[in-house]
Every structure is written in C-alpha cells, then in structure tokens.
Structure 1
Amino acid sequence: MTETTGRLRELNLYRRYFDLVAAGEKTIEVRVKYPHLEDLATGDIIRFRIKGTDESRDVLVKRVTGYRTFEELLDGEGPANVNPSSTREQQLAHVREIYPAEKEALGTLTIEIELLPQ
C-alpha cells in the first residue's frame, strides 16, 4: 500500500474522465497552470469529484510537469497515458473545448496520478 503525507485537494472532473480515473485507466490528468495549482506537489492527494454528485475518488500525485501548450504536453506524455480512449487529435479538440486559448496561454500541467484504495 502507498503511504501518503501530502495535502488534500478537491478538483472536479467530467464523467467521461472520472470513469477512466476510477477504473485505473487514466494515469495523467491535464490542467492549465491556474494560481491555485502552483504548489501542487508529489505526495499530495487529489479528491476528484463529479460536480453536483457525491461521487469521488482519491488519487496520489506522483509527478507534476509543466508544458507551454497542450500539443507539447501530449507529445511529452503520450496521448494514451492522458486518455486511452481517444486519439491525439480528439484529445486536443476536447481539452481546447474545456480550456480555450486564453487559458492555455497560462501554460499547461500534467499530473501523474495513482488511484488510491477506497
């Protein structure tokens, strides 16, 4: 079992991504570099929630890496690690629906995660 000593963060996820995380299939979460994520670090715990529900899953942060753009992020991490059920092009389209160009301009983050037991 993995020991954890980090801080607890709560972040929302869309259902399609939550299900992949809960199944242990999604090991990389993608975000933009919002100020509230600047101090996210290895060892922290993220409680992913589906907004408007009581469903949640806890994950351990194994690594946080910054990239300038989503394209660089997908090339650096590999699309299959970010979302094993979508192609690179589909992932770019989906992530840019969530985060328009002005948000991407803040920079992007990958958060490598490990599903924790319930």
Structure 2
Amino acid sequence: MVLTDTGAKLSKTLIREGTVPPPPGARPWMLDATAWDGSVDDYVDAMVWLVGVMLADPKHFYRSYTTQEIDRLMTRHTAAPAQPRARHMNLYRRYFDLVASGRKTIEVRVQYANLRNLTAGQHIKFACGQDECLVRVVRVARYASFEEMLDTEGPENVNPDSPREQQLTNIRRIYGPEKEALGVLAVEIERVTA
C-alpha cells in the first residue's frame, strides 16, 4: 500500500477528482505514468526493478510505503539493465548453433505484424531449449519472396552449411505460401558478447 505523509492511504482517484490535494512527496508520475521525467524504457526498467525487489521477500507484502519512499526507490534506480531489452524469438537447433557461432548473419522471418517495426539497433534474444543467444539487429531488408531474398542477401549468409535450393525448401517447410505472401524479412544480425 502507498501512504501519504500523514499515514493515510494514497487515493489517486480523490486527487484526480480534486477532492483532496496531492500530498507532499507525491510526484506527478505517481498519478500519471506519462509524467515520468525519463524515457519510457527508464520508467519500465525502474518499475520492473521495484517489482522484483517487492517480490524477492514476502515481508514487502505486509509493509506500506510512503510516496516519498516510492519516489526514492524509483528514482534511485538509474543503473542500466545488465542486458539490453530484447525481443525473444525461438530458433531450431541447427540455426541457433549457426547464430551462436557467428556464422549465420541473416535471420529470415516473414512480416508478421509484431515484426513490422523491427529496426536496426534493436536486440533479439534467440532461444533453443535452455540455450539463449543475444544479437543486435544491424539492418532489416524487406522482400516479396524467399527467392528474391536469397538472391540479394546471399545463401551463405542465411545458412553457410546448406546450398541455396535446400535452403529454399527448408524455409518453405517452415513458412507456407500464405506466410510468404505477407512479405519476407532478412534481418542482418551480429552476436553480442558479454
């Protein structure tokens, strides 16, 4: 529970309605997250960190916090996350091993709605079972077909262990014609090492 400086429960509804004034220590972002001083990523990182602290020990569930204490905790958390925020994508083992070794530099996907805004500089965490591999997106190219993508990007960048025609067959086993019709993405990646 979040308390005011008097020990009363903080009521955002009453403050927003103008029934009671905001208590000392209640920062604008406590009533409206869009008023956070930093970026959205900073706010999310601080909030996730705070939730982690609260969930780490059951004693936090039986405590109340003042607006000043919540502000102190949230604004003091300025450390960058250990790893950059990343999209999670699964890969078959044979492709995962190529990415993890740095030999595969082009990942092929279709233009699902959730990938349309993928851009250079973003990070992807590929997973295969318990194994994970973090990469940075260098470039995203869009193509009408898998053939066009392979001819432009070079099959050796997509899978250095397989000839072009075999790659085309394998890709089409994963993505049928209705998926290819969405458009093809060639995502140039580079391995991020710790």
For residue 40 of structure 1, report the CA deviation from its aligned partner: 0.5
Give the whole-Å Cα distance in 2 for the aligned partners of 1:38 and 1:100: 19
Counterpart of 1:87 in structure 2 is: 163
SS in 1 for 2:171: helix
Which structure dedicates a bigger proportion of its chain to strand? 1
Considering only CA atoms, is the larger Rg found in Structure 1 or Structure 2?
A: 2
* Residue ranges of structure 2 left out of the alignment (5+ in a row): 1-83
Matched, 1:23 2:74: no
The number of residue pairs the alignment matches comes to 112
For residue 7 of structure 1, report the CA deviation from its aligned partner: 4.7
* Residue ranges of structure 1 left out of the alignment (5+ in a row): 1-5
Which structure dedicates a bigger proportion of its chain to helix? 2
TM-score (norm 1): 0.91
SS in 2 for 1:85: coil
SS in 2 for 1:81: helix
The percentage of aligned residue pairs carrying the same residue is 57
Matched, 1:42 2:120: yes
User: What is the aligned-residue RMSD (CA, Å)?
Assistant: 1.3
Counterpart of 2:172 in structure 1 is: 96
Structure with the bigger RCO (C-alpha within 8 Å, sep 6+) is: 1
TM-score (norm 2): 0.56
| Residue of 131, 135, 138 corresponding to 1:59 | 135
Give the whole-Å Cα distance in 2 for the aligned partners of 1:57 and 1:67: 26
